[in-house]
Chains A and B, each alone.
Chain A
Amino acid sequence: MTLRNLFLFLSLMLLAPLAAAELVVVANPRSGIERLTQEEVANIYLGRYRLLASGLTAEPVDLAGDIVLKGRFYRALVGKNLAEINAYWARLVFSGRTRPPHASENVEAALQYVAARPGALAYVDRARADRRVRIVFELSE
């Protein structure tokens, strides 16, 4: 880990409570989606909806490298902790029909993934949402 990353991590740790309100769900601007409800986001991320409202295949992205952010996201979205979410996916993976969201190492990778695919969705801090993506839902924690 670089010094810069360390700094970032520490600053995030310190600023996390402040930044909590700024978690948003972003989509590809070409996805045809303007806004999503919390329920829609939950259904997409938990594998229930495979298609977006616009007809595109939904491709949600998890932040595998940022456990804190991931935890915050699921807590805010469905009120479950990561262990529960993992157990949930364990059962579904077992059947082989439904797959968990694509796992990205960091926010940048997630943003790139979303920018590259029209049906992709990711959750990031509001501050990191740039022009490559469109904010479709704001999580309140």
Chain B
Amino acid sequence: MRGNVHWWHGILARSLMAVVGIALLMGGVSSLLVNQVVGERAHRLALLKLGELLDTVESTVSIAAFVGDEQLATEVAHGLLRNGEVLQVTIRGNERELVRAERAPLRVVNGDALLLMTGPLPKVGAGETALPAVKRLLYSPFKAGEVIGEIRLDADQGAITARVAGATRFISLLLAGQLILVIAAAAVAMLYLVVRPLKATSDRLHRLDAASGERLAVPESHAKSELGRLVGDINNLTARLVATIGIESDLLRQQVIDQRKYQDLFDKAAAGIFVADRDGRLESFNRTFAALTWLQRRKESTGRWLADAGWQAPERLLALLRDALADPTGKATRADDFLLVGRRGDERWLHVAVTPLGDGNVQGTLTDVTERRNEEISTRRLATTDALTGFANRAGLQHALAEITPHTPPFALVMLDLDGFKRINDALGFAVGDQLLMGVAGRIRKLLDARDQVARVGGDEFALALVGEQSRVALAARIGQLLRVLAEPYDVSVAGKHEQIDIAASADIAFFPPMATTCRSCCAAPSWRSTACRRPAAAVSATSSPPSNWRSSIGGALKTTCVMRWTPANCIWFFSRLLI
């Protein structure tokens, strides 16, 4: 805050300087004007006076000129020269000049003021009219109209100048005196009417403690002036400031209370709560968060990272954070489940929901969803497993095929079909059918590698995914062996009696990635049941509409695979079609 105001910066000094400046300017201008006006007037008066002088002596001079009396003319001329403004008198007759009289530079002007002319008289060259001069023709006193000579009076420019200077000086002095009085009056008026009340108000305002609600006093007799209004406005502002401060402190108190509430909620919440930036640096977290994520709670909460916990996929969690922050509305909540693996290998599923806070950070909540996830997993396992054989069921196969990508290792899909199973089932009952199926499943399981997958996709239909690059001959040998093993008799108990049942199986095959094979070579190779390629290429259209009987559809589709040049894309499409 500024301290004292120096007097030379004050309103009074500045106003006075302005007034003095204007006064000097106007004084200068009016002095010039006065000089001009007085000069002209003096000039005119001088001419008038010379004319009057001439009127006085005209008849005498006429007589002198008439007679040619130089003596008389000289007397008259000297008489004229006694007048202060006459510098030179010239009287001419018709033939000659009677007299030319001139005054010395030292002379008495106005009779009362002695003015010493120090400079030389103004020189008057030929033709110049700097000196005011009066000429008059002289007429004969006895014969009207006869010109007998001329008289010429030259005025004393020096005397006129001196008189003008005197008058100008006098008027200038008068003006200067007036201006000084006006300035003094203005200064006093300003000091008492403006500066002092303003300074008093300014000083009071300087010391005013606005926050305490103190009010500024209106200067005496200024209740209705601009100053009074200013003070009133300042007081209004002060009052508003005080009110605002009151509101603010109330808000602050409320905020403290709220903060305490939220802190309590934060600390004791059942959910883990954290605040983190886009890189996963933790700003703060509560006790539950530490407990859920197995993070050790240290005294300093800084320098901890979200990724410090044993997430199975920390990059996915960070992606979730960034996704929430990138949301244009800035309010979107993103949520997902993440698996946490503890130091001792125990797992925990956490549901993480993050919301941007608006300052580049996100707030997240963690809830333990391990139980739900486990339930989901067992439910899914139940849904995709064939209860009888323990193989995947049709949904399981579908799920597995859905995850095929171009990077999936090559495999051959073998569709096994038990011939005449329905008849056995019809004749001997479901219990025997089930025993038979379990036997088939056991033999298949024995013959498969660990990597191979099996699904029971229908009542007597199995799908085998034989994983690994293998030649067609080797594959054919494997499938031939499988069919042989399956063709051996099965021991079943039919109504408590031990029986043996024979059942044959047939196989269809498809490849991933698809081989550059033709129908002919494909169909020629295997020795197992093969169906002739009656419907090349056109069969594709048959698969595009959902078949009423999916079994025949599989057969048709698999035949079709023989003639198609496969790509990964249509392979996936094909398998998904196949299994719907």
Binding site for B on A (CB under 8 A): 39, 42, 46-48, 78-80, 88, 91-92, 94-98
Contact = CB atoms under 8 A, between A and B. Distances in A.
A94 B72 contact: yes
B142 interface: yes
A79 B75 CA distance: 28
A22 to B, nearest CB: 23
Contacts of A98: 67, 69, 72
B122 to A, nearest CB: 33
A48 to B, nearest CB: 5
A120 B69 CA distance: 22
Contacts of B66: 46, 48
Interface string B56-98: 0000100110111111100100000000000000000000000
A18 to B, nearest CB: 28
B31 to A, nearest CB: 48
Contact of A97 (B60, B71, B141): B71
Given A47-B67, A48-B66, A91-B60, A97 B142 contact: no
A92 B72 contact: yes
Interface in B234-284: none
Contact of B142 (A79, A92, A94, A95): A79
The interface residues of chain B, by DSSP majority, are classed as helix
Contacts of A91: 60, 63, 72
Nearest to A93: B72
Interface of B: 60, 63-64, 66-72, 75, 141-143
A66 B70 CA distance: 32
A48 B71 contact: no
A42 B146 CA distance: 14
Q: State the 8 A-B residue pairs at the shortest beta-carbon distance, nearest first.
A: A95-B72, A95-B71, A78-B142, A97-B71, A97-B69, A47-B67, A98-B67, A91-B63
Contact of B141 (A88, A94, A95): A88
A94 B71 CA distance: 9
A94 B141 CA distance: 18
Q: Which of A39, A78, A91 gathers the greatest number of chain B CB atoms within 10 Å?
A: A91
Nearest to B148: A48
Contacts of B69: 92, 95, 97-98
Nearest to A48: B67
Contacts of B70: 97
A71 to B, nearest CB: 16
Contacts of A88: 63, 141
B67 to A, nearest CB: 5
Nearest to B70: A97
A95 B75 contact: yes
Contact of B72 (A78, A79, A97): A97
Contacts of A94: 72, 75
A42 B142 contact: yes
Contacts of A92: 63, 67, 69, 72
Contacts of A48: 66-68
A79 B144 CA distance: 11
Given A78-B142, A91-B60, A46 B67 contact: yes
Contacts of A80: 142
B71 A96 contact: yes
A94 B63 CA distance: 12
Contacts of A95: 64, 69, 71-72, 75
A39 B66 CA distance: 13
Residue of B69, B72, B75, B142 most packed against chain A (CB within 10 A)? B142
A88 B60 CA distance: 8
Residue among B60, B72, B75 having the largest count of chain A Cβ atoms under 10 Å: B72
A106 B64 CA distance: 30
A91 to B, nearest CB: 5
Contacts of B68: 48
A79 B141 CA distance: 10
A74 to B, nearest CB: 10
Contacts of A78: 142-143
Nearest to A77: B142
Contacts of A79: 142
Contacts of A46: 66-67, 142
A96 B66 CA distance: 15
Contacts of B143: 39, 42, 78
Contacts of A96: 71
8 contacts: A39-B143, A46-B66, A46-B67, A46-B142, A80-B142, A95-B69, A95-B72, A98-B67
Nearest to A78: B142
